[in-house]
Each structure stands twice: as C-alpha cells, then as structure tokens.
Amino acid sequence: MSERITSTANPRIKALARIKDRKGRQESGRFLIEGHRELLRATRADIPILEVVLAPELAAPREVALADRLIVDGAAKIEVGRAVFEKLSFRRHPDGILAVAAITAPSLVDLEIGDPAFVLVLDGIEKPGNLGGIIRSADAAGVDAVILVNARCEPVNPSTIRASQGSVFSLPICIASAGETEAWLTERNVPLVAASPEATTTMWDVDFTGDIAVVIGAEADGISPALRAPDATVHIPMAGAADSLNASVSAGILLFEIVRQRS
C-alpha cells in the first residue's frame, strides 16, 4: 500500500523525524537507512525493513526499482514530496530513498569467530564518523566481529552508517561491557593487543598470525582501565611532529598489518 505525503507537519513524518535522534531510536526500536548503497547492503544482510520512503522528484530509476523490490518483500511504502524528504534526510544531496528498519542487537554469545580469530574491540569511540570509518576498514580487512565497549555512539547512527558505506550491516557488531568482553575473550583464549602511542613495541614486532583481538581506544582517553590489561601493547611508528593518529586511521593501519602478516 502506498500513500503520498507532501506536508512536513504530517504526524507520520514527525514520527519518522524523531528517529533521527538517538532518543527516538531507543524509544521506537527503529532506525533510518538512507541511500541506495547502504540500503542495498542492508537488504543483503537481511536487516528487517519495515517501511520505505521514496521521493520521486529526487529518485533515479535504480532507487525506484529498489523501493519496488522492498515493497514486494513486505515493506510499506510512503511516497513523499521533496520538502518532506529533505526534512528526513541527513544528506546535502539526497538520492530520494530511505527506509525504516528494526534495530537488532546481537549479543556476545551470538558472535562466531574464525580460526584464527580476528576480533576488533572499540573502547569509548565518540564520533559516529570515526566509528563508521573503522567499521568500514574492519569489513575490508575481514574482521570476524566488532565489540563496542563503553559505547558512546551507535552502529545505527545515520552518520555511522554513512561513514561505513553500509558495512555496519556486513559485520556482526555487538555492544558489551568491559567485563563481559574480558570474560568472552578469556573463555576463547583470544589474546588482546592494544594500540597506544606510549608503547615501546612496534606493530611490526608482534606476531599477529594466531588468534587476536585488537582494541582501539578513544583519541582523548585511550583504553579504559575497566578493560582487561592487554597481552601486548603496540605503537604505529610515526615521523614528524604528530604524536598520535586519528582512531580510524590507527585502526586501519593495524588491521591491515594483521592482514599482511596472514597473507
């Protein structure tokens, strides 16, 4: 069933707009996915799509085709005017399609790891863009799972989804406490390696070919004291005046050093 809405004051549009905020997502158990690429990756990952919002004035044929496919799969369709879509959009140049999805939250017991294990632990990452960029790198590196400790932003934050280019849907991502994470790693005998600019060992001097969990902390605070002491601490060699790297950059470099050693 489809309906066309042209007023930004429409109660249904107001309800959708509330999901743009964290509080609205938590209260409704729903989040927004905007963009053809991100939405396509969500559908491939079997994310439950409840509604699809389409603005014909902005949408190209591929967006229309994707909306039609989602309707066939059971999503309700809301057709809107340009002004309404722009109220819901997070983008400067939206492509005319977004969807409402149900938030699913896997737990640690749901995570499956490979042999050797390759886990990424993110401790207190604050910025959604950083989180999304790290998840995108983790996906590209073949990480088994991502665990968010002291989570300050959500995987379903629209900025995280966009920065990840939809990789948030390709990886198992769970939120857990430091204690839960420590117990999970200990039970599976997975050593923890932390990145720190104060470390005396470079990342090149550690063997990453076995089971490994890498922890990246917030740029301002580093690794939380609540997280177990790492089995090893490494630094990324740097020249110049900079004494640290952006968390997303650090994660990418370290993850692909692991990929290099394992290749």
Tens of pLDDT along 69-101? Answer: 999 889 999 999 999 999 999 998 999 999 999
Averaged pLDDT for residues 30-44: 95
If asked whether residues 114 and 61 sit together in one domain, one would say no
If asked whether residues 238 and 222 sit together in one domain, one would say yes
Phi/psi of residue 27, each to 5°? -70, -35
The answer on pLDDT for 153 being more than 50 is yes
Q: Are 191 and 165 in contact (CB under 8 A)?
A: no
If asked whether residues 112 and 223 sit together in one domain, one would say yes
Last residue of a domain, which of 66, 83, 102? 102
If asked whether residues 88 and 113 sit together in one domain, one would say no
Last residue of a domain, which of 102, 129, 156? 102
If asked whether residues 69 and 197 sit together in one domain, one would say no
If asked whether residues 68 and 182 sit together in one domain, one would say no
If asked whether residues 200 and 239 sit together in one domain, one would say yes
For residue 187, the enclosing domain spans 108-262
pTM of the full structure: 0.91
Smallest CA-to-CA distance from 90 within 137, 160, 152, 24 is with 160
If asked whether residues 84 and 27 sit together in one domain, one would say yes
pLDDT digits (tens, 9 = 90+) for 107-147: 998 899 999 999 999 998 989 999 999 999 999 999 999 99
If asked whether residues 88 and 189 sit together in one domain, one would say no
Q: How many domains in the chain? A: 2
CA 166 to mean position of chain CA atoms = 8
If asked whether residues 121 and 165 sit together in one domain, one would say yes
If asked whether residues 94 and 112 sit together in one domain, one would say no
Which sign does the torsion angle of CA 40, 84, 162, 114 carry? negative
Give the per-residue pLDDT at 242: 74
pLDDT digits (tens, 9 = 90+) for 208-230: 999 999 999 887 677 877 777 78
The answer on pLDDT for 1 being more than 50 is no
The answer on pLDDT for 66 being more than 70 is yes
H/E/C letters for each residue in the chain? Answer: CEEEECCCCCHHHHHHHHCCCHHHHHHHCEEEEECHHHHHHHHHCCCCEEEEEECCCCCCHHHHHHHHHHHHCCCEEEEECHHHHHHHCCCCCCCCEEEEEECCCCCHHHCCCCCCCEEEEEECCCCHHHHHHHHHHHHHHCCCEEEEECCCCCCCCHHHHHHHCCHHHCCCEEEECHHHHHHHHHHCCCCEEEECCCCCEEHHHCCCCCCEEEEEEECCCECCCCCCCCCEEEECCCCCCCCCCCHHHHHHHHHHHHHHHHC
Please report, for the domain that includes residue 15, its CATH number: 3.30.1330.30
Last residue of a domain, which of 82, 102, 122? 102
Name which of 20-34, 45-59, 88-102, 227-241 the model is least confident about: 227-241
Angle at 254 between CA 248 and CA 256, to 5 degrees: 100
If asked whether residues 142 and 181 sit together in one domain, one would say yes
